[in-house]
Structure 1
Amino acid sequence: MKVYLVGGAVRDKLLRRPVCERDWVVVGADEEQMRRRGFKPVGRDFPVFLHPDTGDEYALARTERKRGHGYGGFDVQAVPEVTLEQDLLRRDLTINAMAESGDGELTDPYGGRADLQARILRHVSPAFAEDPLRILRVARFAARYHHLGFTIATETMALMRQMVRAGEVEYLVAERVWKEVSRALVEADPDVFVRVLRECGALSVLLPELDRLFGVPQPRQHHPEIDTGEHVLLALSAAPAELPVRFAVLLHDLGKGVTPQEMLPAHRGHEMAGLPLVRAVCERWHTPRELTTLALGVCQYHLHCHRALTLRPQTLMKLLRGLDALRRSQRFENFLQACEADARGRRGLGERDYPQVDFLRRVRQAAAEVTADALIAQGCQGAELGRALDRERVRAIAKVKEAYLA
């Protein structure tokens, strides 16, 4: 029984990047031996165990053979006779197919170290094509390591295109897709993730609502980049690395993809037109409720944010109410960050001042400071109390606006 550190831990150690989690492969053992040593089985599809002390994952060396479509559909063999080289052969990329022994000896049968030095993302073997989830993984690694100069090998991109044409991507289940998308969106260059999916054709299958934005024009005076899809990627790059914000930015302009041809390059009403598209994406991927709510809010109200300094106090109060801003302060903050990213995601205009964020924070604070206590003391109750509270909050907002614009 031999134990090796494998995968991302070895890769990131060689890249001199922080190692966040360690995965191990065990050669020469079976499931019963692992249980006797106190390891807890957790793998549903594969023989994976948790170390009784560290909690690290230990997997038995295994081979896999495709027997169906999608991420599942594999015959797995995990017996003591499976070698380390056989286990590494089933992995996705050469840079993830290295192992390190306890004394630090590197096992690299497929050239992972050389590809690390050459900054190449390359598949290990033709078996890569058996798992369409690997398309998303490659795109995610491209987003993570783009700033280090990594590119995708020509033959790997060609294989990814072939997999898309074969219809394999259509068999991916929502939970797996969302797991990869949610991880990719917080990588260093999330726009690269989208570009890779588009280049291989997977974006039109997984997120056609976004794919159709490329080539859709916008008014040049507001969007020097013109192309709506390019604008979304610029905005994504401008957004802070927080999943709720970046997910909302990713979907905020979907309505522009259904603008009638005769209206272009204008997109009047694209906010409301985008709402059913955002809902469809969130339902398809089973996204968390809070992320769905924020994405819908940004889609519907991002132009309100851009025009905040010109809105009437009553409209600003409706904006706060529509976003549930007085109760959901973090959601409102995420909304502001997404709208600022949208404003900055324009070629050559990214450094312009965006005072709307500061202004709307003050507006929310002023409205939040108006409470019902004094009104109740005056005898207000029921529906009248709600109306009186709104009137007082509108007055408070009007004072903030007057002072801000003075």
Structure 2
Amino acid sequence: MQAYLVGGAVRDELLGLEVKDRDWVVVGATPEDMLAKGFKQVGADFPVFLHPETREEYALARTERKQGRGYHGFTVYSAPDVTLEEDLQRRDLTINAMAKTEDGALVDPFHGQTDIKARKLRHVSEAFAEDPLRVLRTARFAARFRPLGFTVCDQTMALMRKMVDEGEVDHLVPERVWQELQRALHERAPDGFFEVLRDSGALSVLIPELDSAEVFQPAMKALLCIHEEPDTSTEERFAALLSPLGENAAIARAKALKASNDCQNLTRLATAFVPQLRKMDPQNPDGDALLDLLDQADFWRRPERFTQLLSVIRCALPDEGDSLKMLQTASYAASGVDPKALLAQGYKGKALGEAIRSERLKRIVDTVTRDDH
């Protein structure tokens, strides 16, 4: 029984990056052997165990055989006779198919270290084509390592295009696409993910609305703009990505991807606001229109989301700074109205609602007209 450090920990160490998660493969053991040594079994699909002290994951060496379409169609074989090389061969990219012995010697049967030096993302074997999720994973690694100079090698890109042409990508379920997509939005060069998907043909299957140049370019520009802001959320990044789309198309795609409710709601607001702000004339402010936008955004109950919305619109409409400033100024002015004070003056029911709106409108008009617009 031998344990080997595998995958990302080995790759990141060779790249000089911080190693966050350490995963191990165990060769020559049975589940009973692991349990006898105090390991705790987790994972239903194949035997994975937590180390009794470090809590790091130890998986028994395994092979996989394709049985059907999509990423579900695999049978897993795990037994003491599976070798380390057989386990590494089932992995996606050569840079992820390296191992280290417990005393630190590198095991690299598929030349991952060479590809690290050449800054290439290359598939380990033709078995790559059996799992369409690997198209998304390769695109995500491209987004992560592009700042280090990595690109997808020609042979792997050709294989990914073939997978798309043969309909493998059509079998990906939305939940897995969304899982990879939201992780990609936070990678170091998130546009790289979508560029690789586009080059491979997968974008036209997964998010066809972004595939044309007239939409793709502003989408990437908005995404990179929001990416450069500190600590932006997944929903802000996703809304920026879909901001060039029409409201209905954006909502439909967000639902099809099974994006979270927060992502769907911010996307709906951003794509509704973009055309309305484009139409506004900062030289002739329309108080009613500004107040309607604040109502649409539910600014009164969701001020934090309104702040997110402004960030997205700032990136979606870089040339509409005056309109955006006008909306922000209106929000400051209108937020000063205190419904409790109006209630104390005797307003109630419908009259209270009308008085609140009237006071908010008055403050917006007074402020934006005074604000040199």
TM-score, scaled relative to structure 2: 0.92
> Offset of 1:140 from its aligned partner?
0.8
Match 1:245 to one of 221, 236, 242: 236
Q: Which amino acid aligns with 1:239?
A: I
> Offset of 1:308 from its aligned partner?
7.5
Taking the aligned partners of 1:375 and 1:125, their CA distance within structure 2 comes to 72
Aligned counterpart, 2:296: 322
Structure 2 matches for 1:153-192, cutoff 5 A? 153-192=153-192
- RMSD between aligned residues: 1.9
Aligned counterpart, 2:48: 48
Aligned counterpart, 1:281: 253
Aligned counterpart, 1:106: 106
- Structure 2 vs 1, CA of residues 131 and 405 (structure 1 numbering), >3 Å: closer, same or farther? same
Aligned counterpart, 2:349: 382
Match 1:335 to one of 309, 312, 334: 309
**Contact 1:308 1:316 (8 Å CA) reproduced:** no
**Contact 2:25 2:60 (8 Å CA) reproduced:** yes
- Once the two structures are overlaid, the 10-residue window that deviates more, 183-192 or 59-68, is 183-192
Aligned counterpart, 2:364: 397
**Contact 1:305 1:336 (8 Å CA) reproduced:** no
**Contact 2:3 2:24 (8 Å CA) reproduced:** yes
> Offset of 1:359 from its aligned partner?
4.6
Q: Which amino acid aligns with 1:330?
A: E
Query: What number of residue pairs does the alignment pair up?
Result: 367
Aligned counterpart, 1:224: none
- Structure 2 vs 1, CA of residues 243 and 289 (structure 1 numbering), >3 Å: closer, same or farther? same
1:26 partnered with 2:26? yes
Aligned counterpart, 1:373: 340
Q: Partner of 2:75: helix, strand, or coil? A: strand
1:76 partnered with 2:76? yes
Could you report, residue by residue, the CA deviation over 1:102-147 in whole angstroms, capped at 9, with x for unpaired residues?
Answer: 2222111111011001100000011100100000011111111112
- Structure 2 vs 1, CA of residues 49 and 281 (structure 1 numbering), >3 Å: closer, same or farther? farther
TM-score, scaled relative to structure 1: 0.85
Taking the aligned partners of 1:45 and 1:239, their CA distance within structure 2 comes to 38
> Offset of 1:353 from its aligned partner?
8.6
Q: Which amino acid aligns with 2:111?
A: G
Where structure 2 has 5 or more consecutive residues not aligned to the other structure, the ranges are none
**Contact 2:285 2:368 (8 Å CA) reproduced:** no
> Offset of 1:368 from its aligned partner?
2.3
Aligned counterpart, 1:217: none
> Offset of 1:294 from its aligned partner?
0.3
Taking the aligned partners of 1:200 and 1:57, their CA distance within structure 2 comes to 33
Q: Partner of 1:405: helix, strand, or coil? A: coil
Taking the aligned partners of 1:365 and 1:37, their CA distance within structure 2 comes to 63
Q: Percent identity?
A: 49
- Structure 2 vs 1, CA of residues 367 and 129 (structure 1 numbering), >3 Å: closer, same or farther? same
Q: Which amino acid aligns with 1:371?
A: D
Aligned counterpart, 1:37: 37
**Contact 1:236 1:249 (8 Å CA) reproduced:** yes
Taking the aligned partners of 2:291 and 2:36, their CA distance within structure 1 comes to 64
Q: Partner of 2:292: helix, strand, or coil? A: helix
Aligned counterpart, 2:266: 294
**Contact 1:7 1:97 (8 Å CA) reproduced:** yes
Could you report, residue by residue, the CA deviation over 1:257-288 in whole angstroms, capped at 9, with x for unpaired residues?
Answer: xxxxxxxxxxxxxxxxx233222222222111
Taking the aligned partners of 2:224 and 2:167, their CA distance within structure 1 comes to 30
> Offset of 1:46 from its aligned partner?
2.4
Q: Partner of 2:26: helix, strand, or coil? A: strand
